[in-house]
Amino acid sequence: MHKKFAKESYTEMNELVLPNDTNTFGNLMGGRLLYWMDICSAMASQKHSNSPVVTVSVDNVSFSRSIKLGEVVTIQAKVSRAFSSSMEVRMEIFAHNLPEGTRIKTNEAYYTFVAIDENNKPRKVAELVPETEEEIQLFDEALRRRELRLILGKKLQPENATALKDLVNLFNHKG
């Protein structure tokens, strides 16, 4: 199977926050943002896999700043690592206040997708080749995030999580 670069999956999506997208405080509803994030990250994983995908995991999403009515939401997504049939996608979310000319990062998250074939069965995906320092760091950290997701989903026993053991050993040796 061939290899692909992270930049090949880059996807950017913009949405204007309208009244129907907000809660009673005039802030974007979290569920609406998660919906947009799912769409954007699915497109990034489809670019990498050249196939339909299904969402299998949404990592912790914290909101560092509310997004207001009238602001433009920009979601930037790209694959941070590909495994056999799954892909981790990292997203950064920004709020733009166009009249004020401001752009503030509001969120960061990781979603995981599995590529599927015509029978809705997992299919192999291309290996991801990180190029930049940031891509290499995200790629290296992705294995720990994956192991944590598998442990939390009861698909991996903690004692079998080799990448997480390495991290724990690193912290134990520093203390």
Of 85, 139, 131, nearest to 112 by C-alpha is 85
Find all residues with CB under 8 Å of 142, minimum gap 6, and list them: 80, 81, 88
Q: φ and ψ at 32, to 5 degrees?
A: -65, -40
Containing structural domain, residue 127: 3-131
* Domain assignment present for 108: yes
Q: DSSP secondary-structure letter at 84?
A: S
Report the C-alpha gap between 130 and 133 in whole angstroms.
8
Q: Which residue has the higher pLDDT, 25 or 149?
A: 25
Q: Is residue 153 part of a domain?
A: no
Q: What is the CATH number of the domain that holds 9?
A: 3.10.129.10
Q: Give tens-digit pLDDT for 102-139.
A: 999 999 999 999 999 999 999 999 999 999 999 999 99
Give the residue from 53, 56, 58 showing the smallest Cα distance to 9. Answer: 53
The yes-or-no verdict on residue 154 having pLDDT over 90 is: no
In a domain, 139, yes or no: no
Judge whether 162 lies within some domain: no
Distance CA 21, CA 33 (A): 9
Instruction: State the pTM of this model.
Output: 0.86
80 belongs to a structural domain: yes
pLDDT band per the 50, 70, 90 thresholds, residue 145? confident
Number of domains observed in the structure of the chain: 1
Per the prediction, the chain carries an average pLDDT of 90
Tens of pLDDT, residue by residue over 45-89, are: 999 999 999 999 898 787 889 999 999 999 999 999 999 999 999
- The pair of structure tokens assigned to 163 is 């990448």
